Structure 1
Amino acid sequence: MKILKHLPHLFIFIVCFNLSLTSCSKEDTPPTPEPEQEIPTEEEKEGPVVLKNEVNDFIWLGLNEVYLWQNEVPYLADNKFSNTDDYYAFLNTYDSPENLFESLLYQRGEVDRFSFLVNDYIALENSFQGTTLSNGLDFGLVRIGNTNDVLGYVRYVANGSDSSTKDIKRGEFFMTVDSQQLTVSNYYDLLFGNNSSYTLGMATISNSQIELTNKNVTLTKTNFTENPIHINKVIELNGTKVGYLMYNSFIANFDSELNNSIAELKSQGITELVLDLRYNPGGRVSSALALCSMITGQFENDIIITEQWNPKYQTYFEQVDPDFLINRFPNALTDGSPITSLNLNKVYVLTTGGSASASELILNGLDPYIDVVQIGANTAGKYTASITLYDAPDFSRGNANPNHTYAMQPLVYKSSNINGVSDYDNGLAPDHIITYQTNSGVSYEGENIQNLGVLGEDTDPFLAKALSLISGTTTKSYEKLKAIKGIQVEHIAESNDFKPLGKGMYTTLKTK
């Protein structure tokens, strides 16, 4: 029976390869299914049981080895199967790898919301580098009233993308794709399907009524690498120089550019920083750790986060290499380049429910050290980490089974800051909640899709609030923006949810 029981074997792998902290962000995940049929008894068997799908074997072995809740799932117990026949018979009761994977997760949708399986690890690996099949349009989707109709609203247009060459911008709305009304049942196929291009039917909202316009915008998907540094500028505020950095993903390929952006802000003499992570779903953890040092600089080698694995791995790491479980403030990038630091004692961070994983690491990790002023809405609530596992004896990419391209991202540990803060399932709550009212007088938290404003300008209510706090006065601009009425909406998805990594982060760990 091919069941790995040697912890050092996988330990060598995970310290030499990539650890990925990711989420699939699907709130409508089906409940954990039971096995699809009874396992046959010894009497019912006719000779040795033949494994029908080798991917199923890979899934069970990987989850049994390193899954965070392995000890909580009966079918993943080390002693669950007495022989290979019983083991293969169990695996054969599932007609697809996806069904098996879902059945072995712990309280799917309640406790484990973020483990996932992919059948194309090439696309997953490309996403680690920030490259996805995309037209560069970042948007949110909301349900219209009590209907099943869906309205899209543009959050930003990625620099250098196909969308940046078209007549479409932040704050605009769309209702149709290729002349079909978006609904809760078709939006995935229309926007995230195999179509390489589509035409959006644009819309307007007037007096709480949504109507199509005569404007149509055709967008084309390409293999696009988005620069996560969307805006980097200095704002002059009554003699105070405020740095504004909109950073939309933690991607290691852009660490040097991020460091240069911080150096540019520092050279211009900023004394305050507004870090906009509203639409940042996560990314490489080493980039997040580096950004923590860029913001500060005075806490070199202090602990940012610690890790807690499943019982057998936690015990192993504590005995063999306790420092493996600790992530500290670095003084250099992973390529050895020195980090430029602002040495700030306060940072203003803009957040929404789209702020996840590595974005939350920034908030939670810095909080014990400096004044982190969070503005906006609750974050996504992801403090768990997943590792990329391939179908290989050591689960490495180099030895991956050539017969298929399945890989999985099971959750393997949860993180906490130096004060032990973790388990923020409902997200990290802001110090200053951004709200708006509808015409009926009901108040809602988060972005008013009818009043998004211009990113990097004081017409953006989130940035206007930060500038108001920095200046110490309630600006007329912010009061005017807050007074703009909105409509009641139910957020159902955002474009980041359907990228291969979703809301997640990944990192290369220390090597031995």
Structure 2
Amino acid sequence: MKQVHYFSFFLCLFAAISFASCSDDDNDNGSQTGITGQSWKEGTPVELTAGSTQSVSFNAAAKWKAHTNSTWCKLQTTEGEKGAGTIKLSVTTTSTKDRTSIITIQVQGYSTTSFQVIQKGSSTTVSEDVEINGKVDEYLRKMYLWNDDYKKLDLDYTKNYEAFFYDALGSMEKNTLDKKPYTGSDGKTYYRLFSYIQLLPDISSTRATKIVNKELAYSFGITGITPVTISGQTQSTTYFCIQGIYPDSPASEAGLKRGMMISQINGKKINNSNIEDFYYNLLLPSSAFSYALTEDIIGEGGVTGQKGYTITSKAMYNNPVLFSKVEEGIEGHKIGYLVYSGFEAGFDEELFNVFKEFKSKNITDLILDLRYNGGGHTMSANLIATCIAGSASQGKVFTSLRYNDERMAERNNQKDHEMFAYSNYPNLGTSLSAGALNLPRVYCLVGTGTASSSELVINSLEGIHLDVILIGERTTGKNVGMEYEDMKVRDNTYRVVPITFQSYNAEDFGDYQDGFKPDVELDETNPYNQQGRFYILRDYMSNEEPLYAKAIELITGKNPMPATRSAENALNGKTRQLPALFRPGHDGMLKPAKGIE
């Protein structure tokens, strides 16, 4: 037995000596730090210049993390796996004096190592683009939902601020919930980003609610346009069919209405060469200017006349409450109808007044028209959903938010719960009980433009088992939202609005990126599903408006639509697809970055 013990002792001793020898050999190769083959030279600082990116490389024996001891030197990569590693360094500001930073690398199970970075002093100032790009980059690294992949990008800070933002996010592959495909007028598939950056106009805003201002924007007062090409006997004509008009706007004062068919602008027929410019300028003018519009008056025999209108865009507050009314005496029902074009929290007082009126008139049913509503502030979505559900929403989850992996780790991987705001709505500083309808169901008119906070209303109500009946076309499918931040650079203010969270309802459902499928599928421009036919849009709450008429039928059992198709104003033609319209503030599920809601 003793011989066995002696043998074991010498075997262990030999192994320990061998291990020490190997360790000494490894130490000679620098393995005390777990770093070999580094590109930087001992004692020689890595030099950075403003607006540039510098990469250093090395081999790591295990997982590693890196950090800097300064605020001016940015690390685009802060961690990695065993094997070849790269750290990207950048600086977006200048300094009149030399400044240094220490970059420290910690390989798991090894001692730390470090190297020095220097930026030489210079009297040269960087461009405004470089400055804002640096701020945007820092925000995206912290907040973007796919920030791990964003950090791997090679970035050029000298680009124009829009090119920097859209090129970076557009080049990524894993951010599929931020990139939506659409078909262009050429039939090809393109992608648009939900994330956006905006140089805010130098016009004022008004504090109307406790949290969010009403913001001025240049506008003609046209809420949306359906482009359509109508085939004639000898030639085709392209029209802009007006979807809606903002109240108290240049368009409403001029007498423009939903369903008008505009054939000419400034005396020019709408055609392939000018359609996109006219389209964007009418909906998003960047300054005050005038357009002369020509309406074709269309009867059953074709164009029966023309009428002209002159409208001048102006800085105005676009009230998203386009239309509201209570229809009484329909088969014993009192039906409230609301057309809401965007979740603009600065108009929450006006929105809440509609629900208070509905409650005072004891409506039995509600038709909520969101067919052109691309979203906006989540707080306004909470207001609408809470008022519809009423006391049934008390103490229940309105939405749960999932952030990027780093932010979720800080929360122990627990989603951020937001409750229905029945007892206290912060933006108005009041209970919502005065507008609580306590309805068991709601009829929502929807379309391909129904997105984001509109879909948040639908999902949140379904999460507390309210019956949400959808009429129209499949919605956009935007289940992600943005925490936006305004950044002041020199004399300008930039609003950066990246996707930072995914939304889930009280049942933890949030996978509606393909949109919500309607309970009743109906194309408002072709309600009878006839190939090659276009039906001119009818006014809101008209019995000839197909989506509204279908909702009335579902509520009362009787369809008010005309019995014969000849009563409809139908033309030979079809709608046209244009590149997706970016409308700041309307295309979001928006939250202020500081979470003040």
TM > 0.5 fold call:
yes
CA contact (8 A) 1:199 1:219 kept: yes
- CA deviation after TM superposition for structure 1 residue 412, in Å: 0.7
CA contact (8 A) 2:218 2:316 kept: yes
The separation in 2 between residues aligned to 1:371 and 1:439, in whole angstroms, is: 24
Amino acid at match of 1:60: D
Q: How does 1:79-94 map to 2 (within 5 A)?
A: 90-92=155-157, 94=158
Q: How does 1:275-290 map to 2 (within 5 A)?
A: 275-290=368-383
Secondary structure in 1 aligned to 2:481?
strand
Structure 1 counterpart of 2:150:
73
| Bigger mean CA deviation after superposition, 459-468 or 117-126 | 117-126
- CA deviation after TM superposition for structure 1 residue 325, in Å: 4.2
The separation in 2 between residues aligned to 1:208 and 1:63, in whole angstroms, is: 57
Structure with greater strand percent:
2
Change (3 A) 1:498 1:114: closer
Structure 2 counterpart of 1:367:
462
CA contact (8 A) 1:305 1:365 kept: yes
Amino acid at match of 1:269: N
* 2:206 equivalent to 1:114: no
Structure 2 counterpart of 1:396:
none
The separation in 2 between residues aligned to 1:470 and 1:316, in whole angstroms, is: 48
CA contact (8 A) 2:543 2:560 kept: no
- CA deviation after TM superposition for structure 1 residue 367, in Å: 1.2
Structure 1 counterpart of 2:512:
424
Structure 2 counterpart of 1:101:
165
- CA deviation after TM superposition for structure 1 residue 134, in Å: 0.8
* 2:396 equivalent to 1:302: yes
Q: How does 1:381-396 map to 2 (within 5 A)?
A: 381-391=477-487
Q: How does 1:161-310 map to 2 (within 5 A)?
A: 161-190=249-278, 191=281, 192-193=284-285, 194=287, 196-204=289-297, 213-235=305-327, 236-297=329-390, 298-310=392-404
Secondary structure in 2 aligned to 1:405?
strand
- CA deviation after TM superposition for structure 1 residue 208, in Å: 10
Q: Which of 444, 450, 460 is 2:535 aligned to?
A: 450
| Bigger mean CA deviation after superposition, 63-72 or 460-469 | 63-72
CA contact (8 A) 2:482 2:591 kept: no
- CA deviation after TM superposition for structure 1 residue 430, in Å: 0.9
Larger radius of gyration: 2
Which consecutive unaligned segments of at least 5 residues does structure 2 have? 1-71, 77-117, 179-192, 207-211
Which consecutive unaligned segments of at least 5 residues does structure 1 have? 6-44, 81-89, 392-399
- CA deviation after TM superposition for structure 1 residue 203, in Å: 2.5
Structure 2 counterpart of 1:311:
405
The separation in 2 between residues aligned to 1:491 and 1:357, in whole angstroms, is: 23
Q: Which of 532, 548, 558 is 1:473 aligned to?
A: 558
Q: Deviations over 1:298-327 (max 9, x none)?
A: 1212112111111101221347xx574434
- CA deviation after TM superposition for structure 1 residue 57, in Å: 1.5
- CA deviation after TM superposition for structure 1 residue 155, in Å: 1.4
Secondary structure in 2 aligned to 1:175?
strand
CA contact (8 A) 2:371 2:445 kept: yes
Q: How does 1:24-35 map to 2 (within 5 A)?
A: none
- CA deviation after TM superposition for structure 1 residue 238, in Å: 1.3
Secondary structure in 2 aligned to 1:497?
coil
Structure 1 counterpart of 2:99:
none
Structure 1 counterpart of 2:445:
350
- RMSD across aligned C-alpha pairs, in angstroms? 3.7
Q: Deviations over 1:236-267 (max 9, x none)?
A: 21121111122222222332332222122122
TM-score (norm 2): 0.66
The separation in 1 between residues aligned to 2:267 and 2:524, in whole angstroms, is: 32
- CA deviation after TM superposition for structure 1 residue 63, in Å: 1.5
Secondary structure in 1 aligned to 2:152?
helix
The separation in 2 between residues aligned to 1:271 and 1:381, in whole angstroms, is: 30
Q: Which of 494, 497, 508 is 2:581 aligned to?
A: 497
TM-score (norm 1): 0.76
The separation in 2 between residues aligned to 1:440 and 1:262, in whole angstroms, is: 33
The separation in 2 between residues aligned to 1:130 and 1:237, in whole angstroms, is: 39
The separation in 2 between residues aligned to 1:511 and 1:405, in whole angstroms, is: 20
Change (3 A) 1:175 1:143: same
Amino acid at match of 2:400: T
CA contact (8 A) 1:4 1:65 kept: no
CA contact (8 A) 2:320 2:347 kept: yes
Identity of aligned residues (%): 25
Number of residue equivalences: 445
Q: Deviations over 1:446-500 (max 9, x none)?
A: xx86342221232221111001001123445477599764544234359x93543
The separation in 1 between residues aligned to 2:503 and 2:323, in whole angstroms, is: 29
Amino acid at match of 2:253: T
Structure 1 counterpart of 2:242:
154
Change (3 A) 1:135 1:352: same
